Structure 1
Amino acid sequence: MSQSHSTPVPTTLTVVGGGFAGLVAAITAAESGRTRVHLRESHHTAGGRARTADGPYKTNEGPHALYSRGPLWTWLKQRGLIGPVASVPLRATLSGAATVRFHRDGALRRMPPLPVLRLGRKQAHEAPVDTDFHTWASSLIGERHTRYAANAIGVAVFHHDPGALSARFVQERLRRVLAMPPEAKYPVGGWSSVVDRLVAHARHLGVRIDTGSRVTDTELAGAAALGPVIVATSLPAARSLLADDSLTWAGGRTALLDLGLRTRRGDAFIISDLDSPGWIERFTAQDPTLAPPGEQLVQAQLPLAPGESRSVGIARAERLLDLGLPGWRERVTHRAEALATGRTGALDLPGTTWRDRPAIDRGNGIYLAGDQVAAPGLLAEVSFNSALEAASLALHHARLHRLVEADRDTRSHRLDLKSA
């Protein structure tokens, strides 16, 4: 008499990458309670671009903020994962203790031009997809003010020429960046405080998290044999891992500058460059814990054109600092420079939308998540939305996998009984 059928091996959903997208995908899958989840991260800590540096200056990889009217904020809030946050210090701004300045025509101004503010109130659907922002907006507010508006959105697109992008893409972001009261919220202690809560929540749900665990293409194939796989890495890393040259999308190059400065009353809180894309923010204005007592943390991002060196962007940042933070050079206690290439999210050119980006479903139980794939949203919201979709598709695939295995096992058992 033959042996009875064996118990099938439980399906395992593997997540490659422990940034925001990977952690959200792992938590979403684990919350279903229908499959085991294994997350693998090559770095020694989770977080991806949401990591906060250790040490006395708690820097993120360039200026970071959560947007409180977006889906990521709602999802985090529902799970108690946001924690303490700081808001744009409007009262201090109005009193002059924390000033917002706009660099226009070589000088700092208190307000952006009124035509730019009026344009920011237009609904995104009023802007065409197949026309560049500069052409569309110039017909409404003129070329000069359109240039100011396009440069103002550099903070959200990290691109040297936002006016050349799809009008719909830019207008969606301009409307939210100029919204009042401001959407931007800042996790106290840096973004790693949110990452730590995500990791703890994932582990509480039973997610196995292995850091310092780089996945090879051979290991990926092995994981796919046990269940669905979500690749939540940068697009270049996913392209290499999956050997898929189609995984490309436009991104920006950005010079990053971090400064620790001895405190001086009257320093600008934000400098938004309207003459060319650029953004400088004094993060200790809303969260003093990011620098040692008596010091402040300033971070800048300056988008670079193709062929421009990091030094070009840093020089622009220094000129803005001369205007908004007088005497900053004599007050420096910490300085770091970096170049972010292809790590600043998706950019939609005229005639394209998020739907044209690399698809989440790659076939054969492989799914993508990240900030350059086919999902809507502002900045980190793209990673978040793609993670939800990838987890949903992966869970469906896992369910079908279990049904196929159960059916195969049942048929095998019937044959055993018949032969007996």
Structure 2
Amino acid sequence: MRENITIVGGGLAGLTAAIACAEGGAAVVLHEAHRTLGGRARSTATPYVANDGTHVFYSDGLPWRWLDERGLVRPYAPIRPGHLARVRFRRDGRLTGRPPAGLLRMVARRGLTAPVDEDFGSWATRRFGAGAARAAARFLGVVTYESDPGRLSAAFAWERLRRVLAPRYPAARYVAGGWGRVIDRMAARARDLGVRIETGSRADRLPEGRVIVATSLDAARGLLGDDSLRWESGRSVLLDLAVRADPRDMFLVSDLDEGGFLERYSLPDPSLAPPGESLVQMQMPMRPDEPKAAALARLERIADLALPDWRGRTTWRRDAVAAGRSGALDLPGTMWRDRPAVQRGDGVWLAGDQVAAPGMLSEVSINSALAAARAALAS
């Protein structure tokens, strides 16, 4: 008889855990409270296929390899030299093609190790100077969703800076058709393996037997009745725009003034928007107690620089605030092992992007889900 494992949550972590458990021979049931799977990996429907925030996979880690081995992330849209020619940095209120020299010197130090116990701002200032430290902290806004990355653990911030800005080879991967395609493929593979997926099925109490809780920490805290399930996360305003195409539009803008970010996703993947239009996704980390409208105004100033006359060309728009749903942030003195543990005891395991697992952003969800599945199968 096959062992039964229940998965609560149908996002990237839940589907990863379901596939891994089913591949290990378990009989799996997955409960998702919403009518659609995906969680924060959902994409909007055509004609404007926008992810829930700026999403990209990195091919230099285990999560990508695990997905790729199962045919879940291809084809992906390649980044061509012409795209890179339309990359800019915002510095002192203007766009430039040149990053600060101090930032380039930082990322050239690939073998350097940063301390866990010191904040990134102090460590980077001491090693590289105040200007380079500020530029690096602003650059990190896109992968931390945090308005002050300098306050984070130096080891945490340095790992992300090196991976994003100085990979050994171009590691960013844009899945053709958006992340919703990945979710559809994962769901299909899970069903092919015999996983029973129940959408619109909210777990108000912990199911009996072996359970992997693959939800946000907020939801897991209520389901498990464990108030210790908390960890620091970021807060950003998100803006999606569809605009009529203009050859002057930039592909990517990294805002070294305020930490914002703009990316025209439909440049490498035209299927994301109707012919003659471009899909642009933007993000701005919000300052403490900053209203949404103020953060949006700051974000629109980047659009003014990168997308000339964009207001008159806009055909679709949406905005949102991402608070506490943008992955784990490690403060000085902490690292990923200090986050809420995967193993909860009594046949319960935890998975998600704020759980004790290595990786960056969504990679934490996949790594923690794989760890939870291995433990559940072995228990």
Instruction: Please give the alpha-carbon distance, in whole angstroms, between the structure 1 residues aligned to 2:370 and 2:29.
Output: 16
Q: Is the 8 A contact 2:153 2:333 kept in 1?
A: yes
Matches within 5 A, 1:7-406: 11-33=3-25, 35-94=26-85, 99-123=86-110, 126-180=113-167, 181-217=169-205, 220=206, 223-224=207-208, 227-397=209-379
- Which digits, 9 at most, give the CA deviation of each residue in 1:234-287, with x for residues without a partner? 111111111110000001111000101000002010110011211110011111
Equivalent AA in structure 2 for residue 131 of structure 1: E
Instruction: Please give the alpha-carbon distance, in whole angstroms, between the structure 2 residues aligned to 1:269 and 1:89.
Output: 11
Supply the RMSD in Å over aligned alpha carbons: 1.3
CA drift at 1:119: 1.2
Q: Give the SS at the match of 1:126.
A: coil
CA drift at 1:89: 3.0
Equivalent AA in structure 2 for residue 144 of structure 1: G
Equivalent AA in structure 1 for residue 33 of structure 2: S
Equivalent AA in structure 2 for residue 198 of structure 1: M
Deviation larger for 310-319 or 119-128:
119-128
Instruction: Please give the alpha-carbon distance, in whole angstroms, between the structure 2 residues aligned to 1:133 and 1:323.
Output: 29
CA drift at 1:124: 7.1
Instruction: Please give the alpha-carbon distance, in whole angstroms, between the structure 1 residues aligned to 2:219 and 2:77.
Output: 33
CA drift at 1:131: 0.3
Instruction: Please give the alpha-carbon distance, in whole angstroms, between the structure 1 residues aligned to 2:280 and 2:174.
Output: 14
CA drift at 1:11: 3.2
Q: Is the 8 A contact 2:83 2:251 kept in 1?
A: no
Q: Is the 8 A contact 1:267 1:326 kept in 2?
A: yes
Identity among equivalent pairs (%): 55
Q: Is the 8 A contact 1:124 1:172 kept in 2?
A: no
Equivalent AA in structure 2 for residue 115 of structure 1: G
CA drift at 1:55: 2.9
CA distance 1:125–1:232, change in 2 (3 Å):
farther
Instruction: Please give the alpha-carbon distance, in whole angstroms, between the structure 1 residues aligned to 2:194 and 2:246.
Output: 48
CA drift at 1:88: 2.6
Q: Is the 8 A contact 1:124 1:168 kept in 2?
A: no
Structure-2 residue corresponding to 1:405:
none
Equivalent AA in structure 1 for residue 56 of structure 2: A
- Which digits, 9 at most, give the CA deviation of each residue in 1:338-382, with x for residues without a partner? 011100000000000001100111110111000001001011110
Q: Give the SS at the match of 1:286.
A: coil
Deviation larger for 83-92 or 169-178:
83-92
Q: Is the 8 A contact 2:191 2:197 kept in 1?
A: yes
CA drift at 1:125: 6.0
**Which structure has more helix as a fraction of its residues?**
1
Instruction: Please give the alpha-carbon distance, in whole angstroms, between the structure 2 residues aligned to 1:141 and 1:326.
Output: 35
CA distance 1:27–1:245, change in 2 (3 Å):
same
Q: Is the 8 A contact 1:30 1:205 kept in 2?
A: yes
Give me the TM-score of the superposition, normalised by structure 1.
0.88
Q: Is the 8 A contact 2:102 2:131 kept in 1?
A: no
Instruction: Please give the alpha-carbon distance, in whole angstroms, between the structure 1 residues aligned to 2:153 and 2:125.
Output: 14
Q: Is the 8 A contact 1:124 1:171 kept in 2?
A: no
Q: Is the 8 A contact 2:89 2:96 kept in 1?
A: yes
Deviation larger for 105-114 or 187-196:
105-114
Q: Is the 8 A contact 2:303 2:310 kept in 1?
A: yes
Equivalent AA in structure 2 for residue 109 of structure 1: T
